[in-house]
Copies of this chain bind each other. A is one copy, B any other.
Amino acid sequence: MREEAIKAVTAIGQVLQEQIDHGLLAPGSKLPAERKLSELFGTTRITLREALLQLESQGQIYREERRGWFVSPPRLAYNLMQRSHFHAMVSAQGRVPSTEVISARLQPASAAVCAWLQLPALSSVIQICRSRRIDGRLVLYVEHYLNPKYFPGILEFDLNQSITELYARHYDLQYGRVRFEIVPTALSVEAAAALKVSVGSPGLQIARVNYDQHERLIDCDLEFWRHDAIHVGVDVV
């Protein structure tokens, strides 16, 4: 007649999960404060926190630095095969995209970037760092590296818009072959800062190396996604 021993952490997670599933806690809504919750569940803040961290790693909830915990919105479907850019992709799924430029400048390329773009040592590259939102929520930090040879004067344009469209309109360039590298890892320090999450949060890193329609290696970018913001689809024919 022994009761099944359920861990407190698991039990708390299940209760919250259920509330979320039944829509009592709507996507985007804020959870009560940690202290309130720990009192509600009759446990310590540390234990309560562990339960929240587990739900976070499942992608059910997320936090904003020192602001609180929120219920995660649905994931964005990111299909690697259809060459859609961020704005088009987000809009097509009935959601509202936005972009902020963090920095844009010509600078010496790091060793890693030289390798990706097959540039000689000590080359210059154009680096564009941007953060992007879906429905107001920061979900993506991108570092873009362009081979300056193909993009004279690009820093003069408004970089809040889609770079893909800039390429087409002003440089007559379109993406051809693309190589993706997807690595599940923690967010880098810069990415965490830009996304306003605590360092060490789980993330999904997607590196793209892009060729144009003439098979020239024109740019690459490093995307850091909140791990709960997307699911990636690939159709292999």
Contact = CB atoms under 8 A, between A and B. Distances in A.
Interface of A: 10, 46, 54, 57-59, 75, 80-81, 177-186, 199-202, 204, 227-228, 231-237
30 contacts: A10-B199, A54-B199, A57-B185, A57-B202, A58-B200, A59-B186, A75-B183, A80-B236, A81-B236, A177-B236, A177-B237, A178-B236, A179-B234, A179-B235, A179-B236, A180-B232, A180-B233, A180-B235, A181-B231, A181-B232, A181-B233, A182-B182, A183-B231, A184-B184, A184-B204, A184-B227, A185-B227, A185-B228, A202-B227, A234-B234
A234 B180 contact: yes
A80 B227 CA distance: 20
The 3 closest A-B pairs by CB, nearest first: A182-B232, A54-B200, A180-B234
Nearest to A235: B179
Contact of A59 (B10, B59, B185): B185
B58 A186 contact: yes
Copies of the protein in its oligomer? 2
Contacts of A183: 59, 75, 231-232
A182 to B, nearest CB: 4
A232 B232 CA distance: 11
Contacts of A81: 236
Nearest to A9: B200
Contacts of A180: 232-236
Contact of A202 (B75, B202, B235): B202
Given A177-B235, A234-B80, A184 B202 contact: yes
Contacts of A179: 233-236
A225 to B, nearest CB: 8
Contacts of A200: 54, 57-58
A196 B162 CA distance: 45
Counting chain B CB atoms within 10 Å of each CB, which of A58, A200, A237 scores highest?
A200
Contacts of A59: 183-186
A233 B57 CA distance: 23
Given A54-B200, A180-B232, A185-B227, 6 more contacts: A177-B237, A179-B234, A180-B235, A181-B233, A183-B231, A184-B228
Contacts of A177: 235-237
